[in-house]
C-alpha cells in the first residue's frame, strides 16, 4: 500500500472556500478510482513545531503504484491540482509530496 501524503504551503491570501471545494473534489476522485481510498484532509496542527510552513495537507491510500498512477493522470485530478497550485505560495513549489510504501 502506498500512502500519498501532500503538504501545502498555502499563500497568505489563499481562499479557504476554494480550498474546501478542491478537497471535496479530490475526495470524489479518490472514491471513484479503483485501488484508491482513505482520503483525509485538514489543517496541520504542528504539535512538534517542525512544519509551520505547511498549514494544511491531505493523504490518500493507493493499493499499489498502478492505482496511484491512475489517480495522477485522471483529468479531474489534474484540473483540481491546477486549482490547488494556484492556492499555494510559490505555485507547485509550495506543494510537498511523500509517497510512503507502507507495510
pLDDT in tens, 44-96: 999 999 999 999 999 999 999 999 999 999 999 999 999 999 999 999 999 99
Q: For position 93, what pLDDT does the model report?
A: 98
The model carries a pTM of 0.95
Q: Taking the CA of residue 55 as centre, how many other CA atoms within 13 Å lie in the half-sphere pointing to its CB?
A: 10
The three cell numbers locating residue 14: 489563499
Average pLDDT score over residue span 31-37:
98
Displacement of CA 44 from its chain's centroid (Å): 13
The alpha-helical segments, DSSP class H, found in the chain are 16-32, 65-73, 75-87
Residues 100 and 78: their CA atoms lie apart, in Å, by 21
Q: For position 7, what pLDDT does the model report?
A: 98
Q: For position 37, what pLDDT does the model report?
A: 98
* Whether 37 contacts 98, CB under 8 Å: no
Displacement of CA 100 from its chain's centroid (Å): 14
Residues 25 and 37: their CA atoms lie apart, in Å, by 14
Q: For position 103, what pLDDT does the model report?
A: 84
Give the confidence band of 5 by pLDDT, cuts at 50, 70, 90: very high
Q: For position 6, what pLDDT does the model report?
A: 98
Amino acid at each position: 500500500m502506498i500512502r500519498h501524503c501532500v503538504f501545502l504551503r498555502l499563500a497568505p491570501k489563499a481562499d479557504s472556500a476554494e480550498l474546501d471545494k478542491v478537497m471535496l473534489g479530490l475526495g470524489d476522485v479518490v472514491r471513484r478510482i479503483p485501488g484508491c481510498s482513505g482520503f483525509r484532509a485538514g489543517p496541520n496542527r504542528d504539535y512538534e513545531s517542525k512544519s509551520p510552513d505547511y498549514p494544511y495537507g491531505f493523504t490518500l491510500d493507493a493499493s499499489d503504484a498502478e492505482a496511484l498512477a491512475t489517480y495522477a493522470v485522471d483529468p479531474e485530478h489534474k484540473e483540481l491540482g491546477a486549482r490547488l497550485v494556484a492556492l499555494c505560495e510559490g505555485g507547485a513549489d509550495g506543494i510537498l509530496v511523500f509517497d510512503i510504501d507502507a507495510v
